[in-house]
Amino acid sequence: MRASQLFAGAWALIATTGCADRLLTQGLEEPISVQDAQFIEGELPGLPPLTREQVDEGVAPVRPNSLAATAGTTRLRPHLGGVVFSGYVSDDAVALALRIEGQGSGYWVFPAGALDPSVPGSLTWRRNVDFHAIPPGRHRLLVAAIDAEGRSGTQVSSSLCIHSPIYDNGNACDPRRAPPATVISLTWDRPVDLDLVVTTPTGDVIDAKDPASGPFGPPPQQRLDRSAPGAGYLDLDSNRDCVLDGVQRENVIFEAPLPGRYRVYANLYDACGEASARYELTVNTRAPGAEEGTFEVAQSKRLVGNVIDLQANSGDRRGTYITEFVLGE
């Protein structure tokens, strides 16, 4: 029997076992979507992954079992598309099921791949995964193998770090890492070239044209000392000249901001053919975490507004005034 026929049979068994919690849907509201896969509501089939203690004791996984799962990049974030995931399952599997533990209402199913001669007794798999509204932080990817009878054995897990879209020095995945003292973040909903502009207490302007302010090192590198008092920088000129990058967020970051008054603007450099765009601005500060020696990001200000195409000025003006705030007084 061909592998595709085996997969079809296994799929039918999965979909009809416990109909109340095995509903086939499109998975449109799920935190992730898997390309060329079917979404099924309900709990992931199979047994939980072996614990470290069980592995040390020599406990064998139940077949069919998943052997490995890895992501093609560690720079994962919400709304990131086309991330390649791959791995291995035992050679008695015809399909796989995967989900993010504790996120969403079901799992994604797709057929296993070919035998891998470099890993005897295993089949490969590879799929593109799109991330949607998944909360930043540490998560576990769970993968189960399914045989031709619809049975699943021991799952395998892979730790994933979903980075915050607001720059935080990796704090979302490791609370012991201190986030910057202040991060001003601008995001927007349409594919336009919108620029975040911040003026500092010293009168410096940080924007796409002048993306850094503060003490620079000696030539030829002349690199900004980002940890120095007053140093601030823009992390990205998103959608620059209407070359769309899918990010639509810019952050101005201060590890140690000077005390004083800061003013914030949103400048529409180019509407890129859009009539308008809605933006959201947040001011985020470092705060102590719930446990000693940890930190978290606290949102101290949030504002929303709109820009229209008539305001596009190719950077000739500072843009739309949004807010101001005072630090250290």
d(CA 166, CA 250): 8
| 319 torsion bin: left (phi>0), alpha (psi -120 to 50), beta (else) | left
d(CA 116, CA 186): 46
pLDDT tens column, 288-327: 999 999 999 999 999 999 999 999 999 999 999 999 999 9
Confidence of residue 22 (pLDDT cuts 50, 70, 90): low
d(CA 95, CA 150): 9
Region 204-210: mean pLDDT is 97
Centre a 10 Å sphere on the Cβ of residue 160 and count the other Cβ atoms it contains: 21
Q: Looking at the predicted structure, is the pLDDT value of residue 2 above 50? A: no
More confident residue, 77 or 26: 77
Structural domains in the chain? 3-162 (2.60.40.10), 182-327 (no CATH)
Query: Is pTM beyond 0.85 here?
Result: no
Region 219-242: mean pLDDT is 92
Region 13-30: mean pLDDT is 60
Confidence of residue 215 (pLDDT cuts 50, 70, 90): confident
Average pLDDT, the chain: 92
Region 112-133: mean pLDDT is 93
Residue whose C-alpha is closest to residue 84's, from 45, 36, 42: 36
d(CA 107, CA 40): 6
